[in-house]
């Protein structure tokens, strides 16, 4: 605070100062990770007010989170005082909702229109689907909502959608030809209800400005300066509004980092930042390249990765911080062991360096990976918290399946019954359940017995459906008497219909939920395969889970290891960071290998993960991982080979002692599994696998590898060893490949066949 109240310009490095004082005309500040972009943006606003006497009412600053807006306002107040409260500062949605309230009549809305949240929107969609007599298994609310949201973010109205044959053919191909009519009905019902959803707040602001030039002019005259934080995360709708508002004075300043654009699945368009200069030819571009967060090792490793992307604004991030430790590479035989090794590493770092839990973060690509990490941390009595999601066993889909397990083991568990009796939907409503509960109470008979003869107590279809449900549970109980926990759980998951329902939901949320249920089954499989465990029943597993989840909620504990997806970690920093699950088809995700653009977004995600670390960074991967109840061989992620090997060392202490070398089966099977993707991959030979290993390919012992030897790599093809760098466990080789060029490989995990 005292520093800010003094001459704030003195605390800035030259590029930062340039970003603050260049206040006229279009400006783009490319801010590398940890380069102090928030300081530049806040001091720029303060400088406008303090040095140029710009009225705060004439400044518009747009952010993506309320937290960021509040932090910026607080910093500005420390320089200019309470006048900072008069800034038009906030999230896109909050600022434009404010404008829409004032101008609502221009669009036919009252000023007190309702804003629907996601659940409101999906409930309305569900009702419309029912009214249209459409199959709700095909026209799922999640899918319909996301489709409409995507259209609005691209500024496509329902009228344009209905009249576009391309959209119709796409929907027809996906067995949803009525999508356009649903979009129309949804929009009309929202309008009739005087309601806007979140996407409407942006979509309708664009319509307001497009159809009402006087209103647009009014706000163009009001906002002399427009500033946007995290510009790489904007969608088309957001950028068009900002562009219109800044059209008169051209005083638009955007701050962002194309290397951290990771939200395409939310509609973010990286082209906004990549092509900004085309919209403003006289643009002033300022690069913030000094990293204040991380060690030289971490910064340089991150640079070596992101430089592989072709679509980027070139910059050279550097730091004056210390060299720091090399990045630990942790190799595990399985995902379960990966969790144990990570937990052991955290425990040792805590003890040796006397650091609190909150200095540690474990980052993963998908939420389902948290399960092994959570269990290992619990066993080591290390407190943790899940950010951006529930603890694995508290997630809805997990609790649903566990409720089935509980009810099969104990049919007197009324709470479990209430959760699952109409899940998936069977036409058993609350009224039916209440009648049975009353009958059980009046006759002092267990509820289960009433349910067995439901037709005697409940009239109509409901009673029959209850008896069918009872028969289903009885079949599960028979299986449970004869089979172990995994066989019983698998039958319940499949036969109940839960797994099928989740599998058919192809939204990102649906796929995550499906992966989570598979991860639960993986946990049960591991449970039954523990050689020292005598009782392998479903009841024994439930008891283990109950003991794990009955502890105090770690989310309430301040000093806790942070577990989160990399997407959730953006904008945060930690002393110690573990990036886990660095395997092909997991990270990069199998769903992000169909195009160069997708793969480059995955690489940006890896870059974001690396740059969260301040002091120490660790990578880990498993050679085997449970997927869908089966132990699968895994291949180390291509991203590991893209990090310059000089920044990595294999951590022998916290890696599997088993010299796992799957050899020909490991490499060849993985390649065969990817053959189906080969046609697409060949289009992007620079980024993806483009070499077919020889039929007799088997990794050789590279202990005695020498310069001049001919070798084969499963991805890079044939080459000749040009140099050897002897560093014990971290021995590296430079290989000049015929097609891939020169590569430096860490021999401890690179697969080479000596010819």
In contact, 287 and 312? CB cutoff 8 Å: no
The Cβ-side half-sphere exposure at 530, using a 13 Å CA radius, reads 17
Q: How many residues does the chain have?
A: 755
- Using alpha carbons only, what angle is made at residue 133 by residues 131 and 137, rounded to the nearest 5 degrees? 110
Query: Would you tell me the crossing angle of helices 198-211 and 141-153 to the nearest 10 degrees?
Result: 30
Peptide bond into 424 cis (omega under 30): yes
Catalytic residue among 260, 290, 366, 488: 260
Instruction: Using alpha carbons, select from 709, 717, 702, 696 the residue that is nearest to residue 750.
Output: 702
User: Which H or E element spans position 720?
Assistant: strand 717-725
Separation between Cα atoms, residue 259 and residue 315, nearest integer Å: 10
C-alpha of 717 from chain center: 33
Residues 6+ apart with CB under 8 A from 580: 338, 342, 362, 363, 364, 369, 373, 620, 621
Which parts of 128-211 are beta strand (E)? 195-197
Q: Who's near 384: CB < 8 A, 6+ residues apart?
A: 357, 373, 374, 377, 554, 560, 561, 562, 563
Count CA atoms closer than 13 A to 535's CA, side-chain side: 8
**Pairing of β 630-633 and β 574-579:** unpaired
CA distance 646 to 381: 35
Dihedral (CA of 270, 276, 278, 279) sign: positive
Q: Which two tokens stand for residue 676?
A: 């189906």
Residues 707, 721: contact at Cβ < 8 Å?
yes
Residues 6+ apart with CB under 8 A from 303: 316, 317
Helices and strands in the chain, H and E counts: 32, 22
Calculate the dihedral angle through the C-alpha atoms of 602, 608, 611, 613, rounding to the nearest 10 degrees: -100
| Residue 631, SS3 per DSSP | strand
Q: Give SS3 for 622.
A: strand
Annotated catalytic residue within 77, 171, 200, 230: 230
- List 38, 455, 495, 557, catalytic entry: 38
Which position among 103, 199, 200, 229 bears the catalytic label?
229
Let me know: does 614 contact 361? Beta carbons within 8 Å: no
d(CA 101, CA 48): 28
Query: DSSP code of 325?
Result: P
Quick check: 622 and 518 in contact, CB under 8 A?
no
646: tokens are: 């000089």
**612 flagged as catalytic:** yes
Q: Tell me the C-alpha distance between 354 and 341, whole Å.
A: 19
Q: Active site includes 495?
A: no
User: What single string gives the DSSP state of each residue in 248-306?
Assistant: TT--EEEEE-GGG---GGGT--THHHHTHHHH-TT-EEEEE-B-SSS-HHHHHHHHHHH
Active site residue 230: yes
> Exactly one of 140, 426, 612, 625 is catalytic; which is it?
612
**How far is the CA of 249 from the CAs of 60, 368, 706, in angstroms?**
13, 49, 65
Strand partners, 363: 564, 579
Q: What is the DSSP string of 378-428?
A: HHTT--EEESSS--GGGSHHHHHHHHHHHHHH-TT-HHHHHHHTTSS--S-
Question: Does the annotation mark 243 as catalytic?
Answer: no
Q: Is 16 a catalytic residue?
A: no
Residues classed as catalytic: 37-38, 229-230, 260, 612
């Amino acid at each position: 605070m005292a520093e800010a109240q003094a001459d704030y310009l003195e605390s800035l490095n030259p590029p930062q100062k340039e970003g603050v004082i260049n206040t006229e005309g279009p400006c783009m500040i490319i801010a590398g990770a940890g380069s102090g972009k928030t300081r530049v943006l806040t001091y720029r606003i303060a400088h406008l007010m303090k040095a140029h006497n710009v009225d705060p009412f004439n400044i518009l600053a747009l952010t993506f989170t309320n937290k960021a807006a509040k932090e910026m306002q607080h910093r500005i107040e420390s320089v200019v005082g309470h006048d900072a409260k008069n800034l038009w500062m906030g999230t896109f949605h909050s600022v434009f909702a404010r404008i829409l309230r004032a101008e609502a009549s221009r669009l036919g809305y009252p000023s007190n229109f309702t804003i629907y949240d996601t659940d409101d929107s999906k409930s309305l969609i569900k009702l419309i689907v029912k009214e249209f007599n459409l199959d709700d298994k095909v026209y799922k609310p999640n899918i319909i909502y996301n489709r409409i949201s995507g259209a609005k973010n691209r500024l496509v109205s329902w009228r344009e959608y209905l009249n576009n044959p391309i959209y119709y053919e796409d929907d027809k191909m996906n067995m949803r030809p009525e999508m356009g009519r649903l979009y129309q009905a949804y929009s009309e019902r929202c309008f009739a209800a005087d309601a806007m959803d979140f996407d409407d707040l942006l979509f309708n602001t664009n319509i307001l400005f497009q159809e009402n030039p006087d209103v647009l002019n009014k706000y163009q005259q009001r906002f002399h300066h427009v500033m946007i934080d995290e510009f790489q995360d904007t969608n088309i709708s957001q950028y068009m509004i900002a562009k219109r508002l800044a059209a008169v004075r051209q005083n638009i300043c955007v701050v962002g980092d194309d290397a951290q654009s990771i939200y395409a699945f939310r509609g973010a368009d990286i082209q906004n930042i990549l092509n900004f200069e085309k919209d403003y030819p006289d643009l002033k571009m300022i690069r913030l390249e000094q990293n204040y967060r991380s060690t030289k090792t971490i910064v340089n490793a991150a640079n070596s990765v992101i430089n592989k992307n072709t679509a980027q604004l070139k910059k050279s991030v550097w730091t004056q911080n210390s060299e720091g430790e090399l990045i630990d590479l942790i190799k595990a035989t399985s995902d379960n062991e990966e969790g144990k090794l990570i937990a052991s590493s955290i425990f040792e770092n805590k003890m040796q360096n006397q650091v609190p839990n909150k200095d540690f973060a474990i980052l993963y690509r998908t939420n389902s990976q948290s399960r092994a990490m959570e269990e290992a941390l619990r066993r080591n009595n290390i407190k943790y918290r899940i950010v951006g999601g529930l603890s694995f066993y508290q997630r809805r889909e997990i609790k649903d399946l566990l409720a089935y397990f509980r009810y099969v083991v104990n049919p007197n568990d009324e709470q479990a019954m209430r959760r699952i009796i109409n899940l998936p939907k069977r036409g058993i409503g609350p009224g039916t359940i209440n009648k049975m509960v009353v009958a059980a109470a009046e006759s002092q008979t267990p509820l289960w017995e009433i349910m067995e003869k439901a037709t005697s107590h409940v009239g109509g279809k409901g009673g029959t459906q209850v008896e069918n449900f009872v028969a289903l549970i009885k079949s599960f109980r028979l299986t449970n008497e004869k089979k172990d926990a995994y066989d019983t759980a698998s039958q319940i998951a499949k036969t109940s219909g839960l797994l099928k329902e989740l599998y058919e939901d192809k939204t990102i949320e649906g796929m995550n939920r499906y992966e989570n249920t598979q991860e639960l089954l993986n946990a049960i499989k591991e449970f039954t395969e523990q050689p020292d465990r005598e009782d392998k029943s479903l009841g024994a597993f439930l008891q283990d889970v109950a003991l794990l989840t009955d502890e105090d909620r770690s989310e309430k504990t301040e000093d806790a290891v942070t577990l989160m997806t990399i997407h959730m970690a953006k904008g945060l920093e930690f002393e110690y960071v573990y990036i886990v699950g660095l395997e092909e088809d997991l990270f990069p995700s199998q769903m992000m290998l169909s195009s160069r653009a997708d793969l480059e977004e995955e690489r940006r995600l890896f870059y974001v993960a690396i740059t969260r670390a301040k002091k120490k960074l660790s990578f880990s991967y498993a050679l085997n991982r449970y997927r869908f109840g089966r132990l699968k061989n895994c291949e180390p992620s291509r991203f590991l080979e893209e990090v310059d090997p000089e920044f990595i060392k294999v951590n022998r202490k916290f890696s599997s002692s088993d010299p796992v070398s799957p050899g020909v089966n490991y490499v060849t099977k993985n390649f065969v599994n990817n053959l189906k993707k080969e046609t697409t991959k060949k289009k992007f030979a620079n980024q993806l696998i483009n070499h077919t290993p020889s039929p007799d390919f088997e990794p050789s012992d590279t202990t005695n590898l020498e310069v001049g030897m001919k070798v084969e790599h499963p991805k890079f093809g044939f080459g000749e060893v040009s140099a050897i760098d002897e560093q014990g466990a971290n021995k590296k080789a430079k290989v000049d490949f015929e097609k891939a060029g020169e590569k430096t490989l860490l021999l401890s995990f690179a697969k080479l066949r000596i010819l």
